Amino acid sequence: MKVSSSIISGGFVAPPSKAASQRAIICACLSAGGSLVKNFSQCADVLDTVAACSTLGAALALHGKDLQVAGGGFFAPREEINCGESAATLKMLLPIMGLFGQEVTLGGGANLKKRHMGHIEEALSKLGMRAKTSGFAPITVSGALDFERASMPPNIGTQFLSGLLMGMPLMEHDCFLEMPKAPYAKENLRLTLRIMEKFSVQAKASEEMDVVFCPAPQQYVGCEYEVAGDFALSAYLLGAGAINGKVKAHGLDVQMPSADRRICEILQQMGTFMIIDEEEKSVTASAGELTGIGVDASDIGGLVPLLAVLGCFAHGSTVIKNVGRMRRREPDRVACIAKNLRLMGGIVEEDEDLLTIRQSSLVGAKVHAEGDNKVAMALAVAALGAKGETGIAGGECIAKGYPNFFSDLEKIGGQVQK
């Protein structure tokens, strides 16, 4: 994929939220009665969720941009559940498998098998379950999800915790879940609880999301749920407007829980002209004179590659702290974006938990996203403001989260050669 220097002008429809799509699909599968998940994301990760749910006995049917789900709950499979390359699918389904009280194995593709699963075994042991794993997929779990009060280990991740929250109402008794070290992405857990509520399930959370009380047993009830636009993905094209033009994203609900909504605040702080229309559900970003700022990326790891690119076009220095969590991915997201920006002439310094970027004159180069879709999108945005042409190897990985990225980029003026 090749991207050349371009003046950006136009609008696009925000891709549906991947996180909301995955959670709504699982809740719909657990429900009594049918559901319609409208405008769901059809990116690779979400289709992996659909496939895994099918293996668990759910009946799902695609109708254009909507997904019809028959409901009725999951059934213990006789075969390994293939989660494809979606770590979110695997992590969310893991605690839900405890509802069977049987041995179940979850696996996936080659890249997923390289993703470290952190404190999964420790977390499951506190929930009445057991795990057999080398720390990577596949993971075999057994035992019943059964606890009255459980405290999760630090850094367990909101995908696993979201799956646990979705499973708790189906237990036989009330329970408390403690997360003493408030998770990195509290907004993702708020999103999970919001979607559960749409499916008639209630849980009460503290303001800091460090304690959740869930009455049980409860019953999910099928409904019609419309997925809103994804801030994390839309941020990259809004960033293109901030660098080299004007972009309007349609379909973004600023009331939807999302840590990545912070992109609006960050762009504005850096000097981007922003218009947020809550009634129209749109966000517009227009180029201004960007200035470097300090950003805490604890809960917005998906925006780190974009923030690094913005730093190259901003006066002074941009300092992104608390990026260490992104180094545990495959590839190391921090090292990957830093290395590629240096190939383009970027002045980037990295420490274990810190990324510092200084204003740079970027020049087109041959770069490689190494399978990270956020890095690939960030490099495409960098290419828009770089002199000459940039060849992005592995750009096809963007389809994992945003299949229409390059077509949307072309709609707003990006010069793309496939």
Output the 3-class SS for 347-391.
Answer: EEEEECCEEEEECCCCECCEEECCCCHHHHHHHHHHHHCCECEEE
What pLDDT score was predicted for residue 43? 92
Tell me the pLDDT tens digit for each residue of 261-299: 999 999 999 999 999 999 999 999 999 999 999 999 988
Cα(101)–Cα(409) distance, integer angstroms: 47
Residue 182, pLDDT score: 60
Task: Retrieve residue 24's tokens.
Answer: 């709504």
Cβ atoms within 10 A of the Cβ of 202, count? 12
d(C-alpha 40, C-alpha 228), whole Å: 8
For residue 336, CA distances in Å to 61, 249, 375 come to 38, 28, 7
Task: Pick out the chain residues at pLDDT < 70.
Answer: 181-184
Domains of the chain: 2-15+228-417 (3.65.10.10), 18-226 (3.65.10.10)
This prediction's pTM: 0.89
The per-residue pLDDT for 183 is: 59
Tell me the per-residue pLDDT of 334-349, one tens digit each, with 9 for 90 and over.
Answer: 999 999 999 999 999 9
Query: Where are the alpha helices (H) located in 185-230, listed in sequence order?
Result: 186-198
CA quadruple 329, 389, 242, 314: dihedral, nearest 10: 80
Cis peptide bond N-terminal to 138, omega within 30:
yes
Q: Decide: helix, strand or coil at residue 91.
A: helix
**253, two tokens:** 């609900």
Q: Are 217 and 205 in contact (CB under 8 A)?
A: no
**Bridge partners of residue 13, in order along the sequence:** 250
Q: What is the pLDDT of residue 184?
A: 65
Task: For 55-105, write each residue's pLDDT tens digit.
Answer: 999 999 999 999 999 999 999 998 999 999 999 999 999 999 999 999 999
CB 331 within 8 A of CB 371: yes
Tokens linked to 234: 């839309």
Cβ contact 284:274 at 8 Å: yes
